[in-house]
């Protein structure tokens, strides 16, 4: 194996690795990579995606940036144009985002679950675990002297906390290559996360081979480990109570999934999607095994994984995002192809990376996260609900009684929160449920905007749309007049407006429902994914590429079919399950929803082998 410096991506000596061992920084700062084989498929640890720079695409490698960062002295958040401090994050959140609970009549809760699941693929838990578990004290005296602490002050006239007396919300800085000790302090902070940067179902398969081998693979029939309890199929669970499901209410709630990574146990939506995609791997593997009895466990596993990843991408790019962004916009901007065939946008000069802006702007989806998670029976009768914020790190609840069945049914019956510039009060006032006394996810989001050093909104507008915004009046057309007035009330200069603050207020893009700058920064990354990923599923020239017939089958994947195949009690569903059922999207029997025909993967050599085996 060759050792690479995780930040620079260059090979390092064994001597240097020893220094990291001594400093206990090897895990984060060093990538150990076996020699690349150009014919090999996608590696679990993301390495060798780019054959010229084998460590790029692996865990703990740097983010790209759409625009260079801006900070004030000592890399603290930037000041306002006149040199004063910018308004407090909590003040901006309460001033700019009204709070309420208005259900969407268009999008389902399932759409929001898929969004968060696909986000979890490329970020990691540690920045949140840092302040809920390791440093819960940032609002106390102890926090004052801890550099990692950067709590959010709450103004005395806060609309909610003027009554509670709470004056501070706990929070820590994002971990960086500097804070971990990979590169020296005094340089621009560079965020570090443990997921692989490309979309490869890291939540299911993990980010490292050892974890997958130990916790994931069954080594039989290409399957992932599973267990059956009360007739339901689950990922395996921890046998001890020492796990991340801190909010499980014992003794009833015991389930916590032991998977290659813990990310699948985090939020309610991620948890459900993880159970479904975990099962979906086995569903695919069984189909392949039935067709191709001569395939080994390894081959079945790899092809099932490749198909599972392709299905997740097909659903994300072609089913989820077009309903928010507009199908025509995405075709016009080259993110999706209307023809259905192969495409080969690969460019080995573009590194497999995620822009720091991409997961950041995805936080806009917090504004359409509904507070209650509603549960329905299979006939569509409402049964009960639980605040989704109380499901974080609480897989145990999903394992109780028939909750999983009811949640599955609810996911495509309940609406998301409306796309309307407001946010649910559980998101803004509870946020982390029992894990933090009080938290406002969107205040944290705005504070992170500054800690990441993003340039002002007007610079991103210029990047995205080419127009220079010099005054508040120049925002007309992009933001409604009443919201421009709200911005004027809180920011002194148009150049002070934080990227996310304006995204919260932007009018939806033409032909879609999302803020245009959000759209721009998301599709920038969606294109980078395709261009920089040698194993991109639509490529005809990748190792083990699909045949045209196989790709045509992948194109049939839909979230409705996936739930028909692996969702508990799902026998009827609307064909476009990210949208609420209605006149043009009527619930139907699962048999009426087409899906992948796995016979496209039938391997004729198996028949030849079995024919000859009769004569041996």
Helix (H, G, I), strand (E, B) or coil at 257: strand
The shares of helix, strand and coil residues in the chain, as percent rounded to the nearest 5, are: 45, 10, 45
- Extract long-range pairs of 515-518: CB within 8 Å, 24+ residues apart: 515/364, 516/464, 516/465, 516/478, 517/361, 517/457, 517/460, 517/461, 517/464, 518/361, 518/364
**Cβ 132 to ligand HEM shortest distance, Å:** 8
Cα-based distances in Å from 140 to 127, 133, 445? 19, 15, 21
Number of residues in contact with ligand HEM, rule: CB under 6 A? Answer: 24
Binder to ligand HEM among 365, 393, 479, 487 (CB under 6 A)? 365
Residue 134 CB partners (closer than 8 Å, separation 6+): none
Helix (H) or strand (E) holding 382: strand 382-387
Does position 454 interact with ligand HEM (CB under 6 A)? The reply is no
Provide the CA 515 distance to its chain's centre, in angstroms: 19
Binder to ligand HEM among 67, 288, 432, 581 (CB under 6 A)? 432
**Cβ 144 to ligand HEM shortest distance, Å:** 19
Binding mask of the shown chain, residues 178 to 207, with x at each position contacting ligand HEM by CB under 6 A? ------------------------------
**Cβ 395 to ligand HEM shortest distance, Å:** 14
Binder to ligand HEM among 388, 500, 566, 573 (CB under 6 A)? 388
Give the span between the Cα atoms of 346 and 528, in whole angstroms.
9
Does position 406 interact with ligand HEM (CB under 6 A)? The reply is no
Does position 138 interact with ligand HEM (CB under 6 A)? The reply is no
Which residue stretch of 10-18, 134-142, 364-372, 580-588 sits at the interface with ligand HEM (rule: CB under 6 A)?
364-372
**Cβ 441 to ligand HEM shortest distance, Å:** 5
Binding mask of the shown chain, residues 255 to 274, with x at each position contacting ligand HEM by CB under 6 A? ------------xxx-----
Which residue stretch of 62-70, 203-211, 316-324, 384-392 sits at the interface with ligand HEM (rule: CB under 6 A)?
384-392
**Cβ 171 to ligand HEM shortest distance, Å:** 6
Residue 267 contacts residue 252 (beta carbons within 8 Å): no
Give the span between the Cα atoms of 146 and 148, in whole angstroms.
5
Does position 127 interact with ligand HEM (CB under 6 A)? The reply is yes
Does position 515 interact with ligand HEM (CB under 6 A)? The reply is no
Q: Cβ atoms within 10 A of the Cβ of 13, count?
A: 9
**Cβ 131 to ligand HEM shortest distance, Å:** 7
Does position 551 interact with ligand HEM (CB under 6 A)? The reply is no
The structure tokens 């299911």 sit at 204
Does position 554 interact with ligand HEM (CB under 6 A)? The reply is no
The structure tokens 């949640």 sit at 407
Choose between 354 and 560: whose C-beta lies nearer to ligand HEM: 354
One DSSP character per residue, 183-226 reads: S-TTS---B--SS-SS-S-HHHH-SSHHHIIIIIB-SSTTPBP-
Would strands 588-589 and 572-573 be described as parallel, antiparallel, or unpaired? antiparallel
**Cβ 485 to ligand HEM shortest distance, Å:** 29
Task: Show the beta-strand stretches assigned E in 207-293.
Answer: 227-229, 232-234
Binding site residues, ligand HEM, CB under 6 A: 112, 115-116, 119, 123, 127-128, 171, 267-269, 359, 362-363, 365-366, 369, 388-389, 392, 432, 441, 444, 448
């Amino acid at each position: 194996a060759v050792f690479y410096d995780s930040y620079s991506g260059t090979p390092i000596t064994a001597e240097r690795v020893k220094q990291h061992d001594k400093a206990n920084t090897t895990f984060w700062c060093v990538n150990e990579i076996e020699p690349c084989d150009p014919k090999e498929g996608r590696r679990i640890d993301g390495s060798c995606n780019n054959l010229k720079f084998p460590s790029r695409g692996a865990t703990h490698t740097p983010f790209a940036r759409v625009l260079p960062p801006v900070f004030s002295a000592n890399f603290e958040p930037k000041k306002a144009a006149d040199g004063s401090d910018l308004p407090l994050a909590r003040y901006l959140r309460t001033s700019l985002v009204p709070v309420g609970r208005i259900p969407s009549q268009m999008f389902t809760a399932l759409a929001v679950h898929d969004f968060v699941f696909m986000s979890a693929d490329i970020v990691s838990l540690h920045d949140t675990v840092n302040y809920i578990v390791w440093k819960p004290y940032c609002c106390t005296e102890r926090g004052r002297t801890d550099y990692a602490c950067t709590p959010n002050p709450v103004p005395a006239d806060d609309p909610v906390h003027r009554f509670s007396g709470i004056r501070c919300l706990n929070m820590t800085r994002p971990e960086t290559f500097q804070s971990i000790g990979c590169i020296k302090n005094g340089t621009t902070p560079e965020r570090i996360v443990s997921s692989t940067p490309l979309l490869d179902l890291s939540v299911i398969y993990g980010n490292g081979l050892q974890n997958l081998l130990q916790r994931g693979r069954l080594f039989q029939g290409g399957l992932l480990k599973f267990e059956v309890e009360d007739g339901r199929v689950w990922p395996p669970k921890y046998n001890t109570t020492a796990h991340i499901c801190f909010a499980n209410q014992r003794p009833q709630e015991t389930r916590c999934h032991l998977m290659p990574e813990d990310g699948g146990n985090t939020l309610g939506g991620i948890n459900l999607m993880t159970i479904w995609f975990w099962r979906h791997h086995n569903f695919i593997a069984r189909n392949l095994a039935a067709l191709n009895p001569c395939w080994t466990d390894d081959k079945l596993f790899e092809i099932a994984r490749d198909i599972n990843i392709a299905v997740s991408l097909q659903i994300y790019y072609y089913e989820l995002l077009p309903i928010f962004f507009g199908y025509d916009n995405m075709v016009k901007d080259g993110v999706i192809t209307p023809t259905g065939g192969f495409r080969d946008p690969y460019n080995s000069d573009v590194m497999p990376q995620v822009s720091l802006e991409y997961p950041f702007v995805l936080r806009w989806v917090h504004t359409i996260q509904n507070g209650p998670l509603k549960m329905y029976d299979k006939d569509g009768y409402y049964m009960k609900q639980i605040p989704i914020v109380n499901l974080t790190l609480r897989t145990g609840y999903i394992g109780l009684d028939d909750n999983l069945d009811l949640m599955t049914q609810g996911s495509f019956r309940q609406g998301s929160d409306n796309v309307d510039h407001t946010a649910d009060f559980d998101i803004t006032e509870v946020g982390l449920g029992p894990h933090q006394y009080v938290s406002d996810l969107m205040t944290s989001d705005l504070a992170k905007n500054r800690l990441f050093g993003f340039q002002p909104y007007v610079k991103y507008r210029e990047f995205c749309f080419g127009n220079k915004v010099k005054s508040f009046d120049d925002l007309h057309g992009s933001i409604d007049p009443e919201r421009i007035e709200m911005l004027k009330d809180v920011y002194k200069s148009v150049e002070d407006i934080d990227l996310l603050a304006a995204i919260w207020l932007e009018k939806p893009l033409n032909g879609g429902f999302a803020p245009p700058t959000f759209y721009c920064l998301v599709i920038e990354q969606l294109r980078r994914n395709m261009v920089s990923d040698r194993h991109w599923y639509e490529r005809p020239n990748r190792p083990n590429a699909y045949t045209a017939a196989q790709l045509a089958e992948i194109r049939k994947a839909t979230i409705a079919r996936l739930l028909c195949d692996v969702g508990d009690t799902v026998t009827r569903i609307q064909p476009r399950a990210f949208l609420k059922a209605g006149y043009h999207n009527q619930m139907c029997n699962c048999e009426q929803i087409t899906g992948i025909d796995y016979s496209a993967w039938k391997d004729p050599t198996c028949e030849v082998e079995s024919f000859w085996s009769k004569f041996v």
